């Protein structure tokens, strides 16, 4: 049911771990839904020099976390913000429909970590993800993804 890329990123996840002196940390999801992602970012001169994650969740949750960290490493903050769930899914050669929410969680984890970075550094930010505890679907983002076909 999973693509080879998903299985590869699940069995050999990249960037698992913590960054002790991270500049931004974001955690999304909750145990009730069965998925929690925690992302650590090291940012120097506006560039993400390192990203690590820890994830409690299914195969897709681990694989999207792994792929998301790979996609944002070496990128500027602006570029990292362009890494949407769709980008993560495409990089993994797709996800089964029931697992699309995992890629949304990966996008939200990046956003939450960047939000934390901005907050720590007193930078301006849009408040979209401030205080987002994970994908409750309340913001309509999940519905929008599903409407877009969720491919």
Partner 1 sequence: MQKPVIYLDHAATTYVKPEVFEAMKPYFIEEYGNASSLYSVGRSGRKAVEEARTAIARCLGADEPGEIYFTGSGTEADNWAIKGAVYAAREKGKKHIITSAIEHPAIMATCKYLKKEGFDVTYLPVDQEGFVNPGDVEKAIRPDTAIVSIMYANNEIGAIQPIKAIGEITRKHGVLFHCDAVQAAGSIPVDVRELGVDLLSISAHKFYGPKGVGALYIRKGVRLENLIHGGHQERGKRAGTENVAGIVGMAKALDLAIANMDQYAGKIRKLRDRARDLILSRIPHVRLNGPVENRLPGNLNLSFQFIEGESLLLMLDMKGIKASSGSACSSGSLDPSHVLMAIGLSHEIAHGSLRLTFGESNTESDVGYLVDCLEEIVARLRTMSPLYEDFVKANKQAAK
Question: Which parts of this chain interact with partner 1 (CB under 8 A)?
Answer: 7, 10-11, 13, 16, 18, 27, 31-38, 54-62, 98-99
Minimum distance from residue 83 beta carbon to partner 1 (Å): 20
11 Cβ contact list (under 8 Å, min separation 6): none
| CA 34 to the chain's CA centroid | 16
d(CA 50, CA 7): 23
Minimum distance from residue 89 beta carbon to partner 1 (Å): 17
Residue of 58, 102, 135, 139 with catalytic role: 102
136 in active site = no
Comparison of 27 and 103: residue with beta carbon closer to partner 1? 27
Comparison of 33 and 139: residue with beta carbon closer to partner 1? 33
Backbone region of residue 22 per phi and psi (left: phi > 0; alpha: psi in -120 to 50; beta: other values) = beta
Burial per residue of 127-147, b for 16 or more beta-carbon CB atoms within 10 angstroms, e otherwise: eebeebebbeeeeebbeebee
135 in active site = no
Minimum distance from residue 72 beta carbon to partner 1 (Å): 18
Q: Which active-site residues does the annotation give?
A: 33, 102
């Amino acid at each position: 049911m999973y693509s080879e890329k998903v299985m590869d990123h699940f069995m050999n996840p990249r960037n698992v771990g913590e960054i002790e002196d991270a500049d931004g940390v974001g955690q999304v999801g909750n145990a009730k839904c069965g998925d929690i992602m925690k992302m650590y970012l090291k940012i120097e001169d506006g560039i993400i020099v390192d990203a690590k994650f820890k994830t409690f969740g299914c195969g897709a949750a681990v694989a999207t976390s792994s792929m998301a960290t790979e996609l944002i490493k070496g990128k500027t903050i602006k570029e990292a913000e362009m890494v949407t769930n769709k980008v993560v899914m495409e990089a993994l050669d797709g996800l089964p429909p029931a697992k699309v929410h995992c890629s949304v969680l990966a996008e939200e984890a990046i956003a939450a970590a960047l939000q934390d970075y901005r907050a720590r550094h007193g930078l301006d930010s849009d408040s979209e993800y401030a205080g987002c505890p994970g994908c409750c679907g309340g913001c309509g983002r999940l519905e929008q993804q599903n409407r877009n076909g969720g491919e």
